[in-house]
Every structure is written in C-alpha cells, then in structure tokens.
A and B are shown apart, each in its own frame.
Chain A
Amino acid sequence: METGEIDSLAPPALDRVRFEDALRPLIDPAYRVAFAQLRDRGQAEDAVQEACFKAWRSFGKLRDQEAALRPWFFKIVTNECRMVRRGRWWQVVKLTDLPFPQPRSAADDAAANVDLRVELAKLGPEQRLLLFLYFGLDLPFEEIGPVVGLSAKAAKARLYRITRRLKPGLQVSEVSP
C-alpha cells in the first residue's frame, strides 16, 4: 500500500507532528527562496514540495539540532532548484520566461526601482539567491554561507560584488551586516 511504503521510509508518527510544526513557518520563505532562483510559480512550488519530501525522510537525523533546520532546509530547496534548472534544457522557452520584465505601469514604480528590477532580472539564479537571502530574509552570513555553499566570509565578499554591480555608487555600509 502506498502509505505503508512512505511510512517505512519516514520517522515515527510523533516526529510527523514535530516535523510539521518545525517546517510550516519555513514553507513560505522557502517558496520565496525558490521563486527568487526560478522565477516560475509552478517550478518553485515543485522544488519546495520535493525539498519537503527529502527533509521529511532525513528529519530524524536532525534530532536535537532544530536550530540548524532553516539553513539545512533552504540548502535542500536550493539543491532542488538547481535540479529544476538542469532539467530546463529540453523545455520550450515560454514567453513569460523572458528575463527582462517590463514595469507594470509608469506610475507603479519609481524609476529607480524599475531599474533595480531589470538589473535583478539580469542576474543569474545563484546571485539572486544570495541577494534574496541577505536582503529579503535578513539571514546572517553564518547561515547564508551553508545555503549557497560558501564560507560566511566568501558569501559576504560575493554579495558585496553583486551589490556593487547592481548599484555602482553603493556605500559599503549598506551591505554590512
């Protein structure tokens, strides 16, 4: 039976409650992390869902380390996003995937923000991920580093370079933690 197969892989029922309690607050941020990289609702949802399955099956290993749950889970999500991107080579490019979105209307956004959105759209997924983790989720570099596969120092240096590319006249204090 299908549920039986899953249960044999999964931690006990009590852990399921713990898992749901621990992971539920992370689902929306994780979706935003995935969307920041993939820019496609369906793919971002799939990535989070697959990541949850993997997290569920490995949740037992994380016992007593719940403080590490967020970077661990975001790392799984990011890995899923990479898998999705790798799978894209055979897909038909949809018009909505074109990388330079137009502003919704002139009144919607200040010109500077439109420029920033266009510049963000030009960045690669890894660069967008780093920006989103730092600016969008306020994560410290000690937590960002493991998610992006870099040391905290290297993540900080890379973020600095990306931000300078986005805003050439940037004052450094704006990127400091």
Chain B
Amino acid sequence: MPTQLRRDVRAAFDAELEPSPQLAEWVFLAVAPKPSHRQLLNRMAAAVAVVAVVASAGYYAYRFGIPGVSPVSPAVDDGDALSVGTFVSGAKGWIVRRGAVNVRGQTGATAAVFETTDGGATWTERLRFKGQYDSMVFSPDGSKGVVWGQDDTAPSCTGPAPRCAPPLRPTLVYRTADGGRTWLKMPTPGETFFTGAFRSPDEGWLLTETAGYGPGDLNVQHTTDGGANWQAVGKVSFTGYKSFGITFGTASRSLVFADSLHGWLIPSTYTDASTPQLLATRDGGRTWRGLSLPLPPSLTGEVAANAPTIFGDGTGVLPVTVRTAAQKPQDPEPPSTVYVYPTADAGRTWGVPHLLFPTGSAQARETVVGLGGIWDFMDAKHWWVTNQTGTGGGPWAPRPHLLVTADGGQTWKTNANSPNISDLFFVSSTTGWAEDQTPSLFGGNINGLIRTTDGGAHWTRVEVPKIG
C-alpha cells in the first residue's frame, strides 16, 4: 500500500499533468523519418554544426588557456564509478572503482581498490569486494590500512515502503598489514551500517542501527584491533534522523574522532542558530551531547558545522557554514559565509571564530556554496578551499576558483581557472591530489583524478584503471 505522503505527492503531480496520449506515435514516426520531417532533420544538421563549432572553440580555448575552459583534459566515462580513497605522498595512494550501479534492482556491485606508488603512472589492484565503499585509512608508510563500507548485496526493497522491510546492510571492514598484498575480511556487528570512522588502521568506531534505514537509536561500536573485535560502547539517541534537534545523514566523514575519547557527529543540514551545531563525545562514544558553539552575536540565518580537522600538534579547525535565511525554496542554494573555530587542545575547547576569508581581502567576496565546503586543511597554515561545490553549472559555467593560503587564512592567493574540484587531498604544501568532475553528455558528472605539484596552480589528469 502506498503511504499517504506518496499518494498525496502523486496526486499533486497528476493534478498538474497535461496528458500527451499521442506522443509515442509521434516519437516513433520521427525516429523512422518521412519527408514531412524535413524540419526535424534540419534541426539535427544545425545541432551537428553547432556541436562542431563549439568543439573547435573548446579545443582552441583549452589549447591556449582561455579563461572559462577547464585547465585539465576531461575525465573519460568508462562506466565505473570513481571514489578517491586516500594518499600518503605524491607517489603513493589508493582509489576505489565500482562497477555498473545503474541497473534496476542491482545491488552489491563489485568494487576494487587500486594502489599507485608512482604518482598515478601505474596502478595495481589490491582488493576486490561486493558492496558500497565508504572510506579508508592507511598508516603514513602505507603498510597498514583499513577499508570500510556497506554490504549492500541484500536485494533492495523496490515496492512501496510498507510492503517490504528494509534489508540488513551490515558493515564491511577489510584490513591489511602488508601494504595491501593480503587482506582480511574482519568480523563486524550484525546490524545495518550507518556511518563509521577510523582514526588509525587499528582504532575505529561504527554507528550501526538495528532497524534498517530510517533509524531508531544508533549503536556505537568500537574496535582497537582493526576490527578483529568490536565492543558496543554506547548509543546515540536518534529519532527521525535527529538527535538533540540536529539532523544527521549517512554521508562518509560524518563521524570524526580526534583521539580515543573525543569525537563528533557532523550534521547533514543547516539548523537555526539556537540549536546545537553538532554532537560531541568526550568518552570514546559512550555518551553524546549537543555542542553549541559561541556564534557571532550579529548572526542571522542558519548554521551548519562541518567536520573538524585536528592536526598532529593538537591544534585544529572547525569550519562552520552560515547561510542567509529567508530564501525562497525555488531559488538556488544561496552563498554561505564560513567561520573557522580554532582549537589548541585537540578539540576539547574551541576558541573565538574568525572569517575564513578576512574582511577587506580580495577574497572576501568569494563564497563557499552549500553545506560541506570542498576544502583541505592540511596543517595549521596550509589550506585550500574551492569556491563552489563542483557539482553543477555545466561546461559553460564560470570556472571555479581555488583559494590557497600558507599562513592560516591571513592572506590568500586565488587560482581563478581551477578544475571543477569535488574533493581535495594535499600531502605537502606543493603536492596534492583531487577528484574533479567533467559534465557528462547525458547529464550528471564524470569523476576523475587530477594531481598538482605546485600547490594547486596547475593540475594534470591522472588516468585511472577500470575494473578488469
């Protein structure tokens, strides 16, 4: 039986629909054209000519670096999805490819982890599994690592919600201690995976749920031996995706731990300024509380905390996005302002926030669009921020900017013709990797891998392998 909401939404769409009963006949007549469709053919010829002109213009723009055209060659769609895993140096890192996932009812598609040790020139497949990759952590020398995700091999529920119960989708954890040559599939709690975080290949936490998607309370599971043993240490009270008035989602990196005791659960949407901004634990996940950050007194609008980054020396940053209120639902997401909260004690306390881009600087007009800005805070001084989400705009949209600071945000440099970056991983002040997006002919984006050796001023495409 459809739910009331489903019935109402369907009825609302049906009410505004103007039927087109003859459309199928017209369409197939047009596909098998007759002389009366001369106009249609002329349009096709014109479209081909326009495509040729645009392609030529695009080639010259790319060749001669005219602003407005991506400075890297486009990513090629080989049918596999790409997730950028992690990188420990300019030479060594891991990516994940996943086979065709766009077939109705198909679950448990094959994923493969590939490793490069030569800056992306060659790749070696290290691990293959069926399921949905979430994230990975490797030791600095790359010898020990853990890859985790969700076992989604149980068939999807494709009917209306009440007809079939959500399937069990447990956590997958794979661990290596020899640089990826051999892997152990680790035992995991027999509950559906919600999100997870490892702060090293040994110590990690999972949030799991017993009731499938649309959870009740989340169980906090903890391991200190790379997933060999799990201990249920606590619960996050969770009703309708909310806890302490904050809404959470299942995105990767929504759970962060700075050390064995201090961790945060990051919201998936904005809240009004009077609601706590994130959940925090001080006892390794046993208990959680809503954390209310001191917000600027003049602030009006909605706020959302992003994942904090804690550096090796215990300093760190917590970016908080502030969005102007009173937007109309049909408007595009408005620009946001980002405040950075500093910590000097690994996140136990947070200091007075400052604007990411200082008032009066040339970058003050730059905006980070949407929640979860695309940035990398490598250490207390070296930060990279892109000024748009990288998920839209198409090939004719203005080029995104990549903003770079080497002094903790006091001064910034702008690369005004950046690739369309969707994730950033800098391993030094000069060398970094990024996931970028090329608009697809059929809508959506094709993810690719790019690399820089000059701090983000220039990028080159790295070819990635396909699952064999």
* A residues lining the B interface (CB < 8 Å): 2-3, 5-6, 10, 16, 19-20, 24, 27-28, 31-32, 35-36, 39, 41, 44-45, 48-49, 52-53, 56, 65, 67-68, 70-72, 75-76, 78-79, 82, 86, 99, 101, 109, 112-113, 116-117, 119-124, 127, 131-132, 135-136, 138-143, 145-154, 156-157, 160-161, 163-167, 170-177
A2 adjacent to B102 (CB under 8 Å): no
Q: Is the CB of B13 within 8 A of A136?
A: yes
Identify B6's interface contact among A28, A44, A122, A174, CB under 8 A. A174
Residues of B within 8 A of A154 (CB): 251
10 contacts between A and B (CB under 8 A): A28-B23, A28-B24, A68-B103, A120-B16, A135-B13, A139-B104, A140-B104, A140-B156, A141-B156, A149-B444
Cα(A24)–Cα(B103), bound, Å:
19
A48-B23, A56-B31, A142-B105 known; A122-B16 Cβ under 8 A: no
Nearest-neighbour CB distance to chain B for A147, whole angstroms, equals 8
Residues of B within 8 A of A71 (CB): 102-104
Q: Are A20 and B28 in contact (CB under 8 A)?
A: yes
Stretch of B328-336, B360-368, B405-413 that contacts chain A:
B328-336
Asked whether any CB of chain A lies closer than 8 Å to the CB of B37, the reply is yes
Contact with A along B355-380 (1 / 0, CB 8 A): 00000000000000000000000000
> Shortest Cβ distance from A166 into chain B, in angstroms?
8
Known: A174-B6, A176-B161. A36 touches B13 (CB 8 A): yes
Contact between B9 and A136, CB atoms less than 8 A apart: yes
Q: How far is the CA of A173 from the CA of B31 in the complex (A)?
A: 43
Q: Are A157 and B5 in contact (CB under 8 A)?
A: no
- A174 contacts which chain B residues (CB < 8 A)? 3-6, 161
What CA separation (Å) do A65 and B100 show in the bound complex?
10
Interface size on B, residues (CB 8 A): 71
A24, closest chain B residue (CB): B24
Given contacts A78-B443, A167-B5, contact A52 B13 (CB under 8 A): no
Chain A residues, Cβ within 8 Å of B251: 153-154, 157
A52-B329 contact in complex given A36-B13, A117-B12, A135-B10, C-beta closer than 8 Å? no
On whether the beta carbons of A72 and B28 are closer than 8 Å, the reply is no
Q: Which residues of A contact B441 (CB under 8 A)?
A: 79
A56 to B166, CA, bound (A): 37
**Chain A CB within 8 A of B101 CB:** yes
Q: Does B187 contact A (CB under 8 A)?
A: no
- Which of B33, B105, B132, B250 is in CB contact (< 8 Å) with A3? B33
A172-B102 in contact given A3-B34, A45-B20 (Cβ < 8 Å):
no
> Which listed residue (B4, B12, B268) contacts A157, Cβ 8 A?
B268
Contact partner, A152, options B101, B268, B444, Cβ 8 Å: B101
- Within 8 Å of chain A (Cβ to Cβ): is B157? yes
Query: Is the CB of B269 closer than 8 A to any CB of chain A?
Result: yes
Contact yes or no, B213 A176, CB < 8 A = yes
Q: B interface vs A, CB < 8 Å?
A: 3-6, 8-13, 15-18, 20, 23-24, 26-28, 30-35, 37-38, 41, 44, 81, 100-107, 132, 156-161, 166, 212-214, 240-241, 247, 249-251, 268-269, 328-332, 391, 394, 440-445
Partner of A72, one of B6, B34, B102: B102
Q: How far in angstroms is the closest Cβ of chain A from B319? A: 20
Interchain CB contact under 8 A, A117 and B16: yes
In the A-B complex, the 8 residue pairs with the smallest Cβ-Cβ separation, listed nearest first, are A149-B444, A79-B443, A176-B214, A135-B9, A146-B102, A27-B24, A174-B5, A41-B18
Residues B166 and A5 in contact, CB atoms below 8 Å apart: no
* Chain A CB within 10 A, most for which of B6, B10, B23, B44: B23
Contact between A35 and B5, CB atoms less than 8 A apart: no
Q: Knowing that A31-B20, A82-B443, A175-B5 are A-B contacts, what are 12 other residue pairs whose CB atoms are under 8 Å apart, sorted by A's residue number? A: A65-B103, A67-B103, A82-B394, A117-B16, A135-B13, A140-B156, A142-B156, A149-B444, A161-B268, A174-B3, A177-B156, A177-B157
For B9, B35, B444, the residue with the greatest tally of chain A CB atoms inside 10 Å of its CB is B9
* Cα(A113)–Cα(B6), bound, Å: 12
Enumerate chain B residues within 8 angstroms of A147, measured Cβ to Cβ.
443
Q: How far is the CA of A65 from the CA of B329 in the complex (A)?
A: 38
Contact A122 B103, beta carbon cutoff 8 Å: no
Query: Residue on B with the closest CB to A166?
Result: B9
In the complex, the chain B residue whose C-beta lies closest to that of A71 is B102
Residue of A123, A149, A163 with most chain B CB atoms under a 10 A cut-off: A149
Query: Are A113 and B104 interface neighbours, CB within 8 A?
Result: no
Q: Is the CB of A68 within 8 A of B330?
A: no
A45 touches B23 (CB 8 A): yes
